[in-house]
Amino acid sequence: MEISFTREVDQLRQGAGTTFHGEGILAITKALLQSGVAYVGGYQGAPVSHLLDVMVQAEDYMAELGVHVEACSNEASAAAMLGASIHYPLRGAVTWKSVVGTNVAADALSNLASPGVVGGALIIVGEDYGEGASVIQERTHAFAMKSSLLLLDPRPQLPAMVRMVEHGFALSEVSNTPAILQLRIRACHVRGSFECKDNVSPAISRKALMESPARFDYERLSHPPSTFRHEKLKFEQRLPAARRYILEHGLNEVFGGRHEDIGIIVQGGLHNALVRALQQFTVADAFGAAEIPMLVLNVTYPLVPEQIADFCRGKRVVLVVEEGQPEFIEQEIATALRRMEIDTALHGKDLLPMAGEYNVEVIAEGLVKFLARHAAAVPLDAARDWLAANAARRQAVVAQLELPLPPRPPQFCVGCPERPVFSAIKQAQANVGPVHYAADIGCHSFATFEPFGFGHTILGYGMSLASRAGVSPMLGRRAMAVMGDGGFWHNGLLTGVESALFNQDDAVLLIMKNGYTSATGTQEIISTPDDEIKAAAENRQQSLVDRNHTIEDTLKGIGVGWLRTVPSYEVETMRRTLEEAFTTDYAGLKVIIAEGECQLERQRRTKPWIAGLLKAGKRVVKVRYGVDADTCSGDHSCIRLSGCPTLTLKDSGDPLKVDPVATVIDCCVGCGLCGENAHAATLCPSFYRVEVVKNPGLAERLLAGLRRGVIGMLAR
């Protein structure tokens, strides 16, 4: 990884008597070390990427503690790591983005949940749900219920989150059940402090090895007839043990209030939003103390029926605040109350939205309905005024604009090496006709937006080639799939390439080889260029040329017969290669590798080096592109073909030119795409290339002076 987490790694070393200050996901990372974790693995993905990134960069410190850290190739391999806790008293933690990551890990998780664990097993998932999400809208809760995994949903305050990590391991061990710790985006990035404890070196570790493996025990395998016993153990021993631990250690929190005849049951992760909503009714203060009793479920599965009954008994009505659908928690609470013949009225999804993120406003709107019906003593005017003021502000913005804001979809970074590839695809389709385009997870999925609009399906990370298998036989022309090098190693090699070769499919696969898993934070992969290649590129002051042929060698090794590697920025070459792939007589799988380093990584790599050259007074050349306003015709075809944020519009300054002309703004990184497109698509010759030289030599300064003189003479 090129991003440095030096400060975060230093924070992991804090011990007893010190106070940690920072964000939630790093506090979770520190809590793992305080809990004596023996091994950590995972697959990166927002909002939990930093946990694994920091652990990987803290390799030296992890070695001191004896903790093993492994960056896994996908979530399935991460989940399989937890198999170490089935036989051995090893505490292990893995992490990934949910719910898509949990889907990938499902096979291993089911086979882990069946025999159970001896050492504590903690799965830390980024619950990517709501308006800020980047994936399908599903909840981890369903998976936890299906496999009888413990589900922790900690109150998003750092001391509570750290406490739930420590108790999560103990809860897992006492019930022999793996536990999931779900963290919403806000919980991962909430900032705060907590009192540290000393980190604990595990009793069995890389520093303290076991003399021999565990003895064979058929009962610890997920094979019949053991699996039938596992099923009984889950509900007769493991879940009851978990419920006892939850009660004895107060993992779920009960907060009292003066309105004792009503109550609220809330998921732990929603506690902060609920308190903020209650503040609008003046029934909660700035420190979180509320006048309405609350049961905060820091463990949402399993629930403890006795605890639910104790909270509801004596109350006229209770509101369940549960984000997402279906209403698993509300249904379980209703069942528990019915079985215990407790007649407390229950509200939830009848007053709150069935689906969608529960932000402060959404919860406040539900509370207005709930309190108006059941709590006449609670004033509602302040909250109604607050909600009305928010709505008025939105209407005022719309009125000022006169028209709704135009959609602003996400875009490729400036200079992204994937943008020129899609420009080439657009040009190729103009010649060969439209093709079925199977998109994939990754930066390249931005091509589904304008100005490209490519993509018929997105089925999963690395699964684009597999997703066109049912379409290809039904089309009169070849279908195309696109995936990144991260997706290729994650899943695409096996589910896509191997299957296509086995079935002798006639299809086109385009692999974006930018050297990293860029969409998850530019983590390194097996085909990331090594330091020697990077240093050579810097010394030549040019973009990195990846001489790592791991992907090409792998494809040749499993039998790909038609393979081309094309530099991403060579639009004309890429267009010709694509047209060849769509029209060649070769009937098997055709693979094109678009090779170009991730621009973000290139900037991180070269900026400090260039700054060092400038400080030392050495010569540095920067390339910039521009548009000659006099030559530009104003048809804007260059913008429609590129979509680069630095290529925009300005007034021509010519009264005879009504339309604005194209212009290149200052954030241009000099990738050259605009010029390449102009040549490949035979656009107007209005683009020019400029080399800006810092610390030029004597000859260059003399030549520049001569040029200025001649130009000045001609201008006069």
pLDDT tens digits, one per residue of 49-103: 889 999 999 999 999 999 999 999 999 999 999 999 999 999 999 999 989 999 9
Per the listing, tokens 């595990």 go with 202
Compute CA 643 distance to the chain's CA centroid, rounded to the nearest angstrom.
Answer: 24
Q: Show Cβ contacts of residue 483 under 8 Å, excluding neighbours closer than 6 positions.
A: 440, 442, 444, 462, 464, 465, 492, 496, 509, 510, 511, 512
- Higher-confidence residue: 525 or 179? 179
Q: Show Cβ contacts of residue 181 under 8 Å, excluding neighbours closer than 6 positions.
A: 28, 122, 123, 124, 125, 152, 154, 164, 165, 168
Could you give the maximum distance between any two Cα atoms of the chain, in Å?
Answer: 99
Burial class, 219, CB count within 10 angstroms (exposed 0-12 / middle 13-18 / buried 19+): exposed
Average pLDDT over residues 623-629: 86
Query: Given this model, what pLDDT does residue 652 score?
Result: 82
Q: Show Cβ contacts of residue 57 under 8 Å, excluding neighbours closer than 6 positions.
A: 1, 4, 5, 6, 8, 9
**Helical packing angle, 24-34 and 49-57, nearest 10°:** 50
Average pLDDT, whole number, for the chain? 91
Split at pLDDT 50, 70, 90, the class of 407 is: confident
Q: Of the given ranges (434-443, 554-563, 572-581, 596-605), which has the lowest mean pLDDT?
A: 596-605
Transcribe 25-69 into DSSP letters. Answer: HHHHHHHHHHTT--EEEE---TTSHHHHHHHHHTHHHHHHHT-EE
CA distances to 304, 342, 451, 488, 637 from 125, rounded to whole Å, are: 23, 35, 34, 23, 44
| Cis peptide leading into residue 40 (ω within 30°) | no
Helix (H, G, I), strand (E, B) or coil at 648: strand
Q: Of the given ranges (40-44, 65-69, 397-401, 438-442), which has the lowest mean pLDDT?
A: 397-401
Please write the tens of the pLDDT for every residue from 190-222.
Answer: 999 999 999 999 999 999 999 999 998 888 999
Query: Given this model, what pLDDT does residue 189 score?
Result: 92
Query: Given this model, what pLDDT does residue 547 score?
Result: 58
Average pLDDT over residues 559-569: 95
Assess whether pLDDT exceeds 80 at residue 33.
yes
- Higher-confidence residue: 334 or 223? 334
Reading the block at residue 130, the tokens are 């709501």
620 backbone φψ class: left, alpha, beta (φ>0; ψ -120 to 50)? beta
Query: Given this model, what pLDDT does residue 1 score?
Result: 44
Alpha carbons 52 and 45: distance in angstroms, whole number? 10
Please write the tens of the pLDDT for every residue from 502-561.
Answer: 999 999 999 999 988 888 888 888 888 776 666 665 555 455 545 568 899 999 999 999
Q: Show Cβ contacts of residue 340 under 8 Å, excluding neighbours closer than 6 positions.
A: 305, 309
Query: Given this model, what pLDDT does residue 21 score?
Result: 96
Q: Characterize 651-672 residue by residue with b for buried, 16 or more Cβ atoms within 10 angstroms of its Cβ, and e for exposed.
A: ebeeeeeeeebbbbeeebbbbb
**DSSP code for 290:** B
Reading the block at residue 88, the tokens are 């051995």
Q: Characterize 604-620 residue by residue with b for buried, 16 or more Cβ atoms within 10 angstroms of its Cβ, and e for exposed.
A: ebbeeebeebeeeeeeb
- Higher-confidence residue: 303 or 691? 303
Please write the tens of the pLDDT for every residue from 121-164.
Answer: 999 999 988 877 778 889 999 999 999 999 999 999 999 999 99
Please write the tens of the pLDDT for every residue from 410-420.
Answer: 889 988 999 99
Count of alpha carbons within 13 Å of 266, Cβ hemisphere only? Answer: 26
Average pLDDT over residues 378-399: 92
Per the listing, tokens 């410190």 go with 61
Per-residue three-class SS string for 540-560: CCCCCCCCCCHHHHHHHHCCC
Given a contact cutoff of 8 angstroms between Cβ atoms, the answer to whether 515 and 485 are in contact is: yes
Query: Given this model, what pLDDT does residue 374 score?
Result: 95
> Percentage of residues in the chain with pLDDT exceeding 90?
71
Assess whether pLDDT exceeds 90 at residue 450.
no
Identify any residues that bridge with 151 across adjacent strands, giving them in sequence order: 180, 301
User: Residue 192: which H helix or E strand, with range?
Assistant: strand 191-195
- CB atoms under 10 Å from CB of 485, counted, come to 28
Query: Given this model, what pLDDT does residue 326 score?
Result: 93
Residue 317: name the closest of 292, 335, 340, 300 by CA: 292
Alpha carbons 80 and 105: distance in angstroms, whole number? 8
Query: Given this model, what pLDDT does residue 196 score?
Result: 97
The full set of domains in the chain, from first to last, is: 6-197+213-247 (3.40.50.970), 252-401 (3.40.50.920), 419-602 (3.40.50.970), 619-715 (3.30.70)
Per-residue three-class SS string for 487-524: HHHHHHHHHHHHHHHHCCCCCEEEEEECCEEHHHCCEE
Alpha carbons 530 and 511: distance in angstroms, whole number? 20
Q: Where are the alpha helices (DSSP H) in 251-359?
A: 271-279, 305-312, 328-339
Alpha carbons 612 and 176: distance in angstroms, whole number? 55
